[in-house]
Amino acid sequence: MSQLKPIHRDTVLRAFEKAERYRLLNEPFEAESICLDILAIEPNHGQALACLLLSLTDQFSHGAAQTMERARALLPRFGSEYERAYYAGIISERFAKRRLRDGHPGAKGLAYGYLSEAMAAYETAEKLAPGGNDDAVLRYNACVRMIERHALSAPLADDHEQPLE
C-alpha cells in the first residue's frame, strides 16, 4: 500500500484555499483530504479543523452515522468552549437537514430532535461568543424557521413504526 506524502509547511495557506474551494464546489471528499494533510503538519490549525468538520457534515448523505461520529470526535480539538458549542450545533443542524431530505417515516420527528439539540448548543455558544459575533444567534434562528417551515414537532411517545407482520 502506498504511503501518504506530507505537504510542505510553507504551502499550508495555499492548500487551505484549495480545501475551501473544493467545499464550495461540493467536493467534500477532496476538501477533507486536504484538511487532513494540513492537520498532519499543523495539528492546531483552527481553520483547517473547521473546514474538515464542515466537509464531514457535507458528507452526511454517505454513511451519515459514521460521518457524524467522525465530526463529533473533532469537537474536543477546538480551542474554545464557544467553538465546541457552535460546531456541535452545526453538526446537529446539518444532520437534521439530512434526515428531512431522506424523507423516510419518522424523519420529521428525528429532525426535530436534532434541531432541538442544535438550538441548545447554539444557546450555549451565544453565551460564550466574543463581542460582535452573532453567528450562534443566526444559526438558532435558522433552526426555528426550519421547524416552522416543515411543521416539525417532537414525536409522540407512541409515534413509532409498527412492526411488519
From 16-20, 44-48, 88-92, 102-106, the region with the lowest mean pLDDT? 102-106
pLDDT at 25 over 70: yes
CA-closest candidate to residue 89, choices 102, 75, 100? 75
Confidence of residue 16 (pLDDT cuts 50, 70, 90): very high
The grid coordinates of residue 147 equal 421547524
CA-closest candidate to residue 158, choices 108, 114, 113, 106? 106
Ranges of each domain in the chain: 1-59, 78-150
* Structure confidence at residue 156 (pLDDT): 74
Q: Which residues neighbour 68 within 8 Å (Cβ) at sequence distance 6 or greater? A: 56, 60, 91, 95
Please state the φ and ψ torsions of residue 129, each to the nearest 5 degrees. -65, 140
pLDDT at 115 over 80: yes
pLDDT tens digits along 51-60: 999 999 999 9
Pairwise CA distance, residues 89 & 118, whole Å: 4
From 53-57, 75-79, 99-103, 137-141, the region with the lowest mean pLDDT? 99-103
CA torsion 54-57-59-64 (nearest 10°) is 160
CB 121 within 8 A of CB 94: no
**Average of per-residue pLDDT values in the chain:** 93
Number of alpha carbons in the 13 Å side-chain half-sphere of residue 116: 10
Confidence of residue 5 (pLDDT cuts 50, 70, 90): very high
Pairwise CA distance, residues 40 & 108, whole Å: 39
Q: Which residues neighbour 29 within 8 Å (Cβ) at sequence distance 6 or greater? A: 55, 59
* Alpha carbon distances (Å) from 46 to 51, 53, 102, 121: 9, 11, 32, 19
Pairwise CA distance, residues 109 & 130, whole Å: 33
Percentage of residues of the chain with pLDDT beyond 90: 85
Q: pTM of the prediction?
A: 0.90
